[in-house]
């Protein structure tokens, strides 16, 4: 089976035995939990669209390993065309879900691990790439959702991993055995972890020799003994427990983050892809971050398309669509959104082939893309909130709207233009609230700042990749300066 259906994906999650805690309670059935299920629906969309002939070109690819048609989320990029299609696919999914669809992290992880393990084996004579390819074939054949796990809690940011008061604040090897390794630690902000079949762990920073125990990459089943999850809170998340649909804003789809804990997790050697090779940890972090920063030029743009559409509807329902300042704000939102998309396409088109054959994006442009993402969605959200008006955050509840007595009052005084039902106006305002302030903000507004690394992380990479000495040389040649 190279392609799962959406229902087969859901059924596969039901067979897993994840150890999940949410709001202080264990969750026996994550698939049907009202807070978690919308995020699972978003991942289902990655499977559903792959079955749709209309989207086959973007959603699927031909495996360079088996020749079979596979989900693009399981694919290693074999050309700049693959890199471009990735961004277009992510925009499509953002448009269809208006949220985070969670499989990007795993796709970016496999592409980074592939090229780095290949180069590691070439230099050191290790067998990591051979192990990784075996894992990748399984992922492709079973159409698995894999959670790429990079971010450690980090503790005291002024200290390296080996100097932390608590050594588990960075994920580490605590024991090496003949049959495998034992791991302790945690990964924070894990997107879609509870909706994943496997996890693919990577180091979180470039490690030194003293931190070799933390230079670690491996794969494990998401429900392996020794792994547990604490589900992250989101703004307005308990609205999903109320049984309504309007107040949630986006009732069907959502994203999630979780803290992933490793409590003496055993990993067999066949699933270990780095163990102490600290000199390659920086390259793995850099490449994964580059791929993931490219991703934001697609997914955030797709959600932005929905937010722009919602803002335009709100203006229409408010009776303000013809106002020149409203038109100008919508134009600015489109301009900013398409600029982000342009960055995602540009770093893809400028990609190049690595030693393993997998294509890597232009790292400078990928970091420029993400640097813009830390800013533009905030302005797009601000303009959407401006256009929507204050009712977006002071509106009465859905229960009030549907109340047999006060519902008439709500419908009367929350009315916009006469031709549009009050409920429609309420729905679009709640959608804007959801994307800019509510549960979808984790996949749009706030994640735009911190996802795939903080703004400063991108500025560091821009500094490294900017080739300032070459630019100085160009200036000297034009100015006639001879050293």
- Please list the active-site residues: 100, 104, 191, 257, 292, 296, 299, 447
Cα distance between residue 88 and residue 82, in whole Å: 10
Judge contact between 100 and 299, C-beta under 8 A: yes
Cα distance between residue 123 and residue 268, in whole Å: 23
Cβ-in-10-Å burial (0-12, 13-18, 19+) of 353 comes to middle
The torsion angle over the Cα atoms of residues 325, 330, 332 and 336, rounded to 10 degrees, is: 160
Q: How far is CA 252 from CA 12, 92, 195, in A?
A: 20, 17, 15
DSSP state of 203: -
Give the pair of three-digit tokens for residue 402. 């549907």
Residue 21: CB atoms within 10 Å: 15
The secondary structure of 164-199, three-state, reads CCCHHHCCEEEEECCCEEEEEEEECCCCCHHHCCEE
Give the pair of three-digit tokens for residue 124. 């050191």
Percent of the chain that is helix, strand, coil (3-state, to 5): 55, 15, 30
Cα distance between residue 414 and residue 400, in whole Å: 12
166: left (phi over 0), alpha (psi -120 to 50) or beta: beta
| 3-class DSSP state of 259 | strand
Give the H or E element holding residue 68.
Answer: none
Residue 421: CB atoms within 10 Å: 12
Which segments of 100-232 are extended strands (E)?
146-149, 172-176, 180-187, 198-201, 216-221, 227-231
Cα distance between residue 94 and residue 107, in whole Å: 16
Give the H or E element holding residue 15.
Answer: none
């Amino acid at each position: 089976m190279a392609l799962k259906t959406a229902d087969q994906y859901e059924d596969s999650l039901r067979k897993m035995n994840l150890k999940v805690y949410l709001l202080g309670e264990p969750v026996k059935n994550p698939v049907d939990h009202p807070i978690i299920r919308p995020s699972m629906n978003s991942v289902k969309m990655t499977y559903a669209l792959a079955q749709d002939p209309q989207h086959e070109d973007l959603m699927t690819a031909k495996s360079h390993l088996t020749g079979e048609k596979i989900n693009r989320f399981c694919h290693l990029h074999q050309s700049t065309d693959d890199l471009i299609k990735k961004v277009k696919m992510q925009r499509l999914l953002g448009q269809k879900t208006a949220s985070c669809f969670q499989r990007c992290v795993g796709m970016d992880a496999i592409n980074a691990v592939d090229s780095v393990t290949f180069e590691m084996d070439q230099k050191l004579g290790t067998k990591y790439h051979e192990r990784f390819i075996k894992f990748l074939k399984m992922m492709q054949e079973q159409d698995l959702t894999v959670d790429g796990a990079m971010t450690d809690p980090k503790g005291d940011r002024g200290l390296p991993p080996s100097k932390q008061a608590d050594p588990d604040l960075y994920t580490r090897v605590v024991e090496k055995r003949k049959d495998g390794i034992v791991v302790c630690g945690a990964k924070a902000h894990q997107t879609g972890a509870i909706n994943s079949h496997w996890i693919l762990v990577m180091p979180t920073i470039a490690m030194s020799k003293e931190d070799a125990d933390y230079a670690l990459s491996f794969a494990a089943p998401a429900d392996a003994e020794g792994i547990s999850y604490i589900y992250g809170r989101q703004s307005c998340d308990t609205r999903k427990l109320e049984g309504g649909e309007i107040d949630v804003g986006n009732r069907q789809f959502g994203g999630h983050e979780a803290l992933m804990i490793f409590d003496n997790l055993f990993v067999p050697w066949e699933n270990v892809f780095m163990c102490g090779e600290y000199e390659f940890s920086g390259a793995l972090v850099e490449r994964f971050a580059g791929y993931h920063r490219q991703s934001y030029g697609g997914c955030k743009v797709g959600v932005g398309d929905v937010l722009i559409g919602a803002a335009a509807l709100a203006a229409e329902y408010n009776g303000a669509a013809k106002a020149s300042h409203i038109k100008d704000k919508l134009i600015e939102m489109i301009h900013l959104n398409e600029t982000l998309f342009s960055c995602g396409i540009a770093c893809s088109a400028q990609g190049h082939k690595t030693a393993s054959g997998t294509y890597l994006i232009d790292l400078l442009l990928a970091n420029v893309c993400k640097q813009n993402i830390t800013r533009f969605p905030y302005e797009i959200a601000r303009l959407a909130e401006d256009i929507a008006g204050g009712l977006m955050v002071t509106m009465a509840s859905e229960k009030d709207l549907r109340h047999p007595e006060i519902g008439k009052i709500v419908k009367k005084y929350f009315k916009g233009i006469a031709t549009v039902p009050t409920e429609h106006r309420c729905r679009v305002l709640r959608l804007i609230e959801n994307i800019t302030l509510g549960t979808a903000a984790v996949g749009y507004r706030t994640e735009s700042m911190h996802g795939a690394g903080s703004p400063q992380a991108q500025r560091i990479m821009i500094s490294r990749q900017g080739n300032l000495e070459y630019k100085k040389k160009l200036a000297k040649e034009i100015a006639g300066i001879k050293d």
